Amino acid sequence: MKDSKFRWILHLIAVVTLSTIAIQVYWNYKNYLANKQQLINDVQVSLDKAVDDYYAQLAERTTVAFAYSDAPSGNVLKSGDSSLFSTIAKLSIDNPSKTFKNLDSLTAAQPVNGIAIYRGRKADSIMKDWKHDTLPSNAFLETSTVNLDEKDIKSLTTKVIISMTSDTLNLKVVDSFFTNELHRKKLDLTHNLKFTSANGDQRELDSTTVNKNHLETISKSTFLPKKSTLKVHFSNETKIVLKRMLGSIVISTLLVLAVIGSLFYLLTIIKHQKQLSELKNDLISNITHEFKTPIATIGVALESMKDFKALEDKHKTKNYLTISNTQLSKLNLMVEKLLETATLDSDELNL
């Protein structure tokens, strides 16, 4: 094999090896970015779930219903101590801060006949006990087909549901829900929450835990107050992403090693064949020179016997025949060595 052809094969193997490594590195990088984005999506879903759970819990503590059952419904809107709105006005909040925090502290200043108070989830059951004396069962779904008179409108005011809303968040409670969601999804992340209200006020939980240069995502929950944002910064994402990619990384590494190993094995075989080819050429060249000497010697001896009348001299004839036999023996030995060399396996040669 010519050296130029061998170098060309060597360069081709090097190009294929580098191309394989580059393709696998690029594929793993794209896979890393995809898993990183999936992690961000999982964190955002967990954050939205935490916000939803927070407001669901908050709704249980901030929803109250009033049912007016004993007195005639027409008296509900009227003024007086027995009206429903007068009862609502008499409600007091047993809290030093004078702010509403729990429905259990919500009581009437004095008991009022005909008024029933439902708190939390019990407020949802008020519609199940509704006695539709004047309205059909589908009046709330098909109001366009029902003609409501004053009597019907007054009957609607016998039950009132009040839900309190808040324009801020308890970050510690949200963080507890968020941490539980992360643990449920087996996401070991270091994080901190940051809430920005509609007026621009910012509150942050564990502000020194995570560097702001790490990943972040914003909650898209519709329960958040209008024009407010809840952002989470989190770190330790590389460990989680690489853990998710462990299978693909192992397969990619094995593939690269298999390709590189095959190419180098092929290169070894080609190099071995090149050495065998060089050895064969050297052997043929040496044998050619070795064959020429005895053949030429035998030719000279025969020519001398013919031209110099050596046949008439028995002594000379004997000498020429001895020389010819000696050279023929050398030729025979060289032929045997050539046959032995041809039958040798390449592994038996010390290249």
Q: What is the pLDDT of residues 283-313, one digit of tens each?
A: 777 777 777 888 888 888 777 777 766 566 7
52 and 38 share one domain: yes
- 157 is a domain residue: yes
> Where are any strands of DSSP class E within the chain?
63-68, 91-93, 106-108, 115-119, 159-163, 190-196, 202-205, 215-218, 229-235
Which three-class secondary structure state does DSSP give residue 191?
strand
Measured CA to CA, the distance from residue 58 to residue 165 in angstroms comes to 9
173 and 52 share one domain: yes
Q: Is the pLDDT of residue 244 over 60?
A: yes
What's the whole-number mean pLDDT along residues 92-96? 40
* pTM given for the model: 0.58
Measured CA to CA, the distance from residue 132 to residue 156 in angstroms comes to 10
Give, as one character, the DSSP assignment of residue 298. Answer: H
Q: What is the pLDDT of residues 111-139, one digit of tens each?
A: 545 555 555 555 555 444 544 444 444 44
Q: Is the pLDDT of residue 163 over 70?
A: no
> Which of 115-119, 146-150, 246-250 ranks highest by mean pLDDT?
246-250
- 3 is a domain residue: no
- 116 is a domain residue: yes
Q: Is the pLDDT of residue 2 over 60?
A: yes
265 and 336 share one domain: yes
Q: Which two tokens stand for residue 68?
A: 């007016």
Residue with the larger pLDDT of the pair 206 and 129: 206
- 146 is a domain residue: yes
- 2 is a domain residue: no
Q: Is the pLDDT of residue 147 over 60?
A: no
Q: Which two tokens stand for residue 154?
A: 């007054």
Q: Which of 163, 191, 225 is the last residue of a domain?
A: 163
- pLDDT for residue 93: 40
Q: Is the pLDDT of residue 33 over 90?
A: yes
339 and 282 share one domain: yes
239 and 251 share one domain: no
Q: Is the pLDDT of residue 31 over 90?
A: yes
- Lowest mean pLDDT segment, chosen from 39-43, 183-187, 212-216: 212-216
CB-CB contact of 50 with 178 (8 Å): yes
Q: How many CA atoms lie within 13 A of 100 on its CB side?
A: 16
Q: Measuring CA to CA, which residue among 141, 85, 128 is closest to residue 108? A: 85
Band (pLDDT 50/70/90 cuts) for residue 46 is very high
CB-CB contact of 234 with 215 (8 Å): yes
Q: Which of 125, 145, 163 is the last residue of a domain?
A: 163
Domain containing 327 equals 246-348
Q: Is the pLDDT of residue 73 over 50?
A: no
- Count the domains in the chain: 3
Q: Which of 192, 213, 244 is the last residue of a domain?
A: 244
Measured CA to CA, the distance from residue 284 to residue 294 in angstroms comes to 16
- Lowest mean pLDDT segment, chosen from 4-8, 42-46, 118-122, 185-189: 118-122
- 45 is a domain residue: yes
Measured CA to CA, the distance from residue 118 to residue 103 in angstroms comes to 9
- pLDDT for residue 139: 42
CB-CB contact of 190 with 182 (8 Å): no
105 and 150 share one domain: yes
- 1 is a domain residue: no
CB-CB contact of 106 with 93 (8 Å): yes
List CB contacts of 312: < 8 A, sequence separation 6 or more. none
184 and 269 share one domain: no
Residue with the larger pLDDT of the pair 109 and 239: 239
254 and 344 share one domain: yes
- 326 is a domain residue: yes
314 and 260 share one domain: yes
71 and 213 share one domain: no
> Where are any strands of DSSP class E within 4-130?
63-68, 91-93, 106-108, 115-119
46 and 173 share one domain: yes
154 and 282 share one domain: no
Residue by residue, DSSP assigns 141-162 as T-GGG----HHHHHHHTTEEEE
Band (pLDDT 50/70/90 cuts) for residue 69 is low
Q: What is the pLDDT of residues 310-319, one digit of tens each?
A: 566 777 778 8
